[in-house]
Amino acid sequence: MFQNLLQPLSPLAQGLIVAATAMVFSLVFGPVMRRVGTRLHVVDVPNQRSSHTQIVPRTGGVAIILAMICTMALMGKPTAPLLVAMGLGAMGSIVSFIDDFVSLSSLVRLLVHLGVAAVSIFMIQLHLRELALPFWTLPFPYWVGLAVAALFVTGFINFFNFMDGINGIAASQGIVGAATLAVLLAMGGAGNSVLVSAALVGGCLGFLPYNFPRATMFMGDMGSTTIGFSLAMLTLIGARHWPWVACLLPLGVFIYDATFTLFKRLLRGENVLKAHREHHYQLLIRSGWSHLRVTLLQVGLMLLCSAAALVYATRDDSLTRLFVLLGVLTMFAAYSVFVHRHFARRGNDKTPKETTQPVPSPESA
């Protein structure tokens, strides 16, 4: 509807307008979805693993998704790849919404995510062509590039879902990660993908007041899986213009934490599909840190990763890129050492409860 009004503007101006529009939509949809979640009893009930004390609706992700859809309908260009990605992404979202009602098995969710990722990448031809590292480039045959891309998207969907465990952390990754990807995509001339990234930024910004610093609503599996899918697909689009590593760095905090914890549990012989409290952010919470403090630390790490991504993309010499990667890895190693030593001194088996704003009954909602 308003596509022609955006055309004369710079990519930065277009992105800001789209993000602001999506934020307004998300802010408006938020209370509506909170009420829907309460009435349909799509809520998070505290248990022994929870970091909260009150029953909280987990339909906030629907507000983000609706905000993105409405914004792109008004301002986006209805290209075939965009429609295919949105349609297939919606299938995964529906399964996740069902999971918010009735818990599905981990295997069912994993197979759905893998199917959606593989079909989306095949239909849009977003297979990875190569893995370009400093001083070394590994080209991928078509089917290898397709498989690696599908496994990455599936993995990151679940990584994002795993990391969505305290107030503001997932929305912050959506904001910082999507904003950095929007800049990279704009610099690469990726067009409509810039608007998708900007709409994701705005949707998460509009959701944030309902989730941080106090939570009146959670994102839910529908929100976390859809945002994870969107961010992962945007990195594959970015890989058409920049080294894929540069597009992965803005998501580095979630990728590192989830991967580190996965291998740590594998080495212990634990069931990696079973719920746990071993992520870095969870160990800090178990050491007595507040949600506010942990999330702000995470945001700081995200911003450093995003700065590294921009340097990696814009500096076309291998030595600089190598120093950037080594710097990020050193930062993560120091982060792991700090968290695990801190937990060894002050951690316990109980998760401190974060006060949440109580949810009204369906009659009063």
Helix axes 106-124, 142-163, angle to 10 degrees: 130
Q: Are 181 and 57 in contact (CB under 8 A)?
A: no
Low-confidence winner among 135-149, 266-280, 343-357 (lowest mean pLDDT)? 343-357
pLDDT of residue 364 exceeding 50, the answer is no
Here the tokens at position 65 are 């998704």
Across 229-249, b (16+ Cβ under 10 Å) vs e yields: bbbbbbbbbbbbbbbbbbbbb
* pLDDT tens-digit series, residues 184-203: 999 998 778 899 999 999 99
Here the tokens at position 131 are 């893995």
For the chain, percent of residues with pLDDT exceeding 90 = 63
Mean pLDDT of 197-218: 95
DSSP 104: P
Mean pLDDT of 91-109: 70
pLDDT of residue 355 exceeding 70, the answer is no
Residue where the block lists tokens 């178990």? 286
Considering the entire predicted model, what is its pTM? 0.90
What value does the mean pLDDT of the chain take?
A: 87
- Rounded alpha-carbon distances, angstroms, from residue 137 to 131, 168, 243: 6, 37, 10
pLDDT of residue 52 exceeding 60, the answer is no
Residue 41 confidence (pLDDT): 84
Residues β-bridged to residue 136: 133
Low-confidence winner among 109-118, 167-176, 271-280, 308-317 (lowest mean pLDDT)? 271-280
pLDDT of residue 86 exceeding 80, the answer is no
User: Of 324, 241, 204, whose CA–CA distance to 196 is shortest?
Assistant: 204
Where helices occur in the chain by DSSP H, the ranges are: 3-6, 11-40, 60-75, 80-101, 106-124, 142-163, 169-187, 192-207, 220-238, 244-248, 252-267, 280-286, 291-314, 318-346
Preceding omega of 46 cis (within 30 degrees of 0): no
